[in-house]
């Protein structure tokens, strides 16, 4: 008989688990949410010159030979907002499953939101120092450093650090709700790693230094969360 905890195979859950069932049932809504929110946020972001919003203290030391691409920044912001909104809709669909103990996970979900905001705020406050640290490595890798590079870093590094800060609480919430077992599988870890790599590849500037800057906190936080879950 199948366990109530759905320790998972495939992409992290067994066939017929709450996650699989919710994905099948909510698929049209998920696609619609992704497309509509992405389009709306992109349209709102198009008139905004993100390169003008970067803190002056961070932008002064970096020369530029790369043309600005405000349109791409707006699209990236829209796509990220679309995926975040889709995640919220999907989470609500999963929580409606009778096999999920959503009430047991509420405290950890709320904590993850607080940690996300704290991590994002910390990244914003330390942004000038982060630029000073990573710019020489990015320039050495041949990246064209300028307002666009800075704007992309300024927009999405706080998201990466906020997500890293929230990861342990989110994993604890998923475990308490019965979505995943306390002992994660290799496939589950691989799925999370794929998401982290895809995020860093799509939303970090095109150099290895900033890719590592985005991905390393996410992997470190997930490793710490898994270790805490499995060895406590």
Q: What is the pLDDT of residues 67-105, one digit of tens each?
A: 447 788 999 999 999 999 999 999 888 888 878 888 888
Positions of E strands within the chain: none
**pLDDT number for residue 144:** 62
The owner of tokens 């990220």 is 80
**pLDDT number for residue 56:** 56
Cβ-in-10-Å burial (0-12, 13-18, 19+) of 150 comes to buried
Dihedral, CA of residue 172, residue 176, residue 181 and residue 186, to nearest 10: -20
Distance CA 60, CA 147 (A): 10
**pLDDT number for residue 143:** 59
Residue 125's Cα: distance from chain center in Å? 19
SS3 60: coil
> Is 3:70 a contact under the CB 8 Å cutoff?
no
> Is 192:222 a contact under the CB 8 Å cutoff?
yes
**pLDDT number for residue 141:** 55
* H or E stretch at 138: helix 127-140
> Is 189:226 a contact under the CB 8 Å cutoff?
yes
Distance CA 147, CA 186 (A): 40
- Per run of 10 residues, the mean pLDDT along the chain (length 232 residues) is 42 62 90 96 91 65 52 92 94 84 87 96 92 81 70 93 95 86 81 94 88 95 90 75
| pTM of this prediction exceeds 0.85 | no
Distance CA 185, CA 8 (A): 7
**pLDDT number for residue 140:** 64
195: number of Cβ within 10 Å: 14
Which residues are CB-neighbours of 47 under 8 A, at least 6 positions away?
none
Cβ-in-10-Å burial (0-12, 13-18, 19+) of 135 comes to buried
- For residue 143, give the DSSP letter: -
**pLDDT number for residue 94:** 86
C-alpha angle 65/69/72, rounded to 5°?
A: 140
Query: How many Cα atoms occupy the beta-carbon half-sphere of 47 within 13 Å?
Result: 2
> Is 79:38 a contact under the CB 8 Å cutoff?
yes
For residue 160, give both structure tokens: 């990466």
**pLDDT number for residue 142:** 53
């Amino acid at each position: 008989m199948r366990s109530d905890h759905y320790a998972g195979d495939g992409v992290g859950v067994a066939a017929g688990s709450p996650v699989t069932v919710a994905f099948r049932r909510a698929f049209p809504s998920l696609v619609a949410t992704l497309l509509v929110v992405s389009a709306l946020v992109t349209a709102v972001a198009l008139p905004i010159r993100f390169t003008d919003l970067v803190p002056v203290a961070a932008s002064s030391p970096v020369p530029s030979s790369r043309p600005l691409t405000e349109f791409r920044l707006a699209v990236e912001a829209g796509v990220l907002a679309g995926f975040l909104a889709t995640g919220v809709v999907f989470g609500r669909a999963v929580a409606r499953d009778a096999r999920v103990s959503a009430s047991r996970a509420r405290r950890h979900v709320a904590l993850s939101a607080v940690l996300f905001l704290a991590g994002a705020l910390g990244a914003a406050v330390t942004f000038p120092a982060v630029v000073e640290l990573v710019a020489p490595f990015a320039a050495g890798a041949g990246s064209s450093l300028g307002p666009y590079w800075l704007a992309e870093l300024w927009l999405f590094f706080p998201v990466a650090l906020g997500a890293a800060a929230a990861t342990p609480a989110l994993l604890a919430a998923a475990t308490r709700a019965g979505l995943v077992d306390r002992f994660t599988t290799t496939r589950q870890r691989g799925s999370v790693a794929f998401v982290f790599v895809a995020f860093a590849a799509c939303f970090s500037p095109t150099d290895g230094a900033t890719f590592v800057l985005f991905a390393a906190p996410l992997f470190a936080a997930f490793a710490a969360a898994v270790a805490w879950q499995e060895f406590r």
